[in-house]
Amino acid sequence: MRGVLSDRMGAALLMAPLLLFLVLAYAWPFLGVVKWSFTLPTPGLGQYDALLTDDLVQSVFIRTLRIAAIVTVVSVAAAYAITVVWVRGGPAQRLIAEFCILVPFWISVLTRAFGWVALLSNRGLINTWLQSIGFISEPLTLVRNEFGVVVGMTHFLIPFAVFPLASAMRSLDDRVLLAARGLGSSRMRTFWTVFVPMTRSGIIGSALIVFVFSLGFFVTPAILGGGRSVMIAELIYLRIFQSPDWGLGAAISVVLVLFVGALMALLFRYVRPKQLI
């Protein structure tokens, strides 16, 4: 008993610096933001009332949720295909999948965003090539709109969706799949009726992670959206640093943090933390 208490005290002492850092670096500043939302420019609930009546804020919230939902669906679908190859493919296929997963981590989000601008702009590689083969006569509008934002965010977030899926796929019992095949199920039917349902926790975890990350994206929408597809993080920046409307910006931040907190609580209800690694 004494040994158990000693181990717990030791673990608490080791965790204390981390907890102190989190309080000083995140919790304390956030309390200041909460204070701004209730006190600037005048004390009261005026900023939260503005969230319910300001058409611009509501349209940005809706656009953010729409883009985050699209990015989540596309990212999880692409990540699922990559993960199947990574976990259950041959050595060469696994090597290619690892390359696709790990290389994006080594390239900054800024570099990737400008890379997509070079590819998708009117004089970019894609439009130039399509015009050269006669497929189109005028350049397609592929950037500085929601399409460009979705492409850039999806490219960035796919690797984050892979790891919960890989954890779920690696925990599968292959004997269940063999039993399904032994009972006469085709390969595709086994995949859709056995394999996919058994990786449900990984799908939920990936979707929630990508959706939460999408809500706070700033650099990619700012560059690929060109100011025409403003998302909630960019709106907060504009309200605080350019308006300056600190009270409304703080109120938006508080609502966004509470929303993300609710999603994270939902995530940990369905997915164990070790499955996210």
**2 has a pLDDT exceeding 70:** no
CATH code for the domain of 178: 1.10.3720.10
Closest CA to 121 of 100, 144, 103: 144
Summarize the chain as % helix, strand, coil (round to 5). Answer: 80, 0, 20
For the chain, give the mean pLDDT: 86
80 and 1 co-located in one domain: no
Q: Quickly count: other Cβ atoms within 10 Å of residue 89's Cβ.
A: 15
Based on the structure, what is the number of domains in the chain? 2
Identify the domain containing residue 99 by its residue range: 44-275
Summarised one tens digit per residue, pLDDT across range 90-134 is: 888 888 888 888 888 788 888 888 899 989 988 888 999 999 988
86 and 153 co-located in one domain: yes
pLDDT for 76? 95
Q: How far apart are CA 150 and CA 69, in angstroms?
A: 10
Q: Where are the beta strands (DSSP E) in 132-267?
A: none
159 and 234 co-located in one domain: yes
84 and 17 co-located in one domain: no
CB 199 within 8 A of CB 168: yes
80 and 217 co-located in one domain: yes
Q: How far apart are CA 109 and CA 1, in angstroms?
A: 50
119 and 73 co-located in one domain: yes
34 and 48 co-located in one domain: no
19 and 143 co-located in one domain: no
50 and 176 co-located in one domain: yes
CB 248 within 8 A of CB 47: yes
CB 141 within 8 A of CB 135: no
Closest CA to 172 of 198, 200, 203, 201: 198
266 and 203 co-located in one domain: yes
First to last CA, the chain: 33
**What DSSP character marks residue 134?**
T
pLDDT for 4? 59
140 and 16 co-located in one domain: no
Q: How far apart are CA 105 and CA 48, in angstroms?
A: 38
Largest separation between any pair of C-alpha atoms in the chain: 79
Q: How confident is the model at residue 273 (pLDDT cuts 50, 70, 90)?
A: low
Q: How far apart are CA 46 and CA 57, in angstroms?
A: 14
Q: Quickly count: other Cβ atoms within 10 Å of residue 246's Cβ.
A: 18
Question: CA distances (Å), 8 to each of 3, 41, 263, in order?
Answer: 9, 47, 30
pTM of the model: 0.85
Q: How many residues does the chain have?
A: 277
CB 120 within 8 A of CB 151: yes
What mean pLDDT do residues 203-226 have? 88
Summarised one tens digit per residue, pLDDT across range 138-172 is: 888 888 889 999 999 999 999 999 988 998 898 88
Residue 202: which residues within 8 A CB-CB, separation 6 or more? 164, 165, 166, 167, 168, 169, 271, 275
**242 has a pLDDT exceeding 90:** no
Residue with tokens 């939920």: 204
Residue with tokens 């499955």: 275
Q: How confident is the model at residue 237 (pLDDT cuts 50, 70, 90)?
A: confident
Closest CA to 88 of 208, 201, 199: 199
Summarised one tens digit per residue, pLDDT across range 174-208 is: 888 888 888 888 888 998 999 999 998 889 889 98
Regarding predicted confidence, which is higher, 6 or 266? Answer: 266
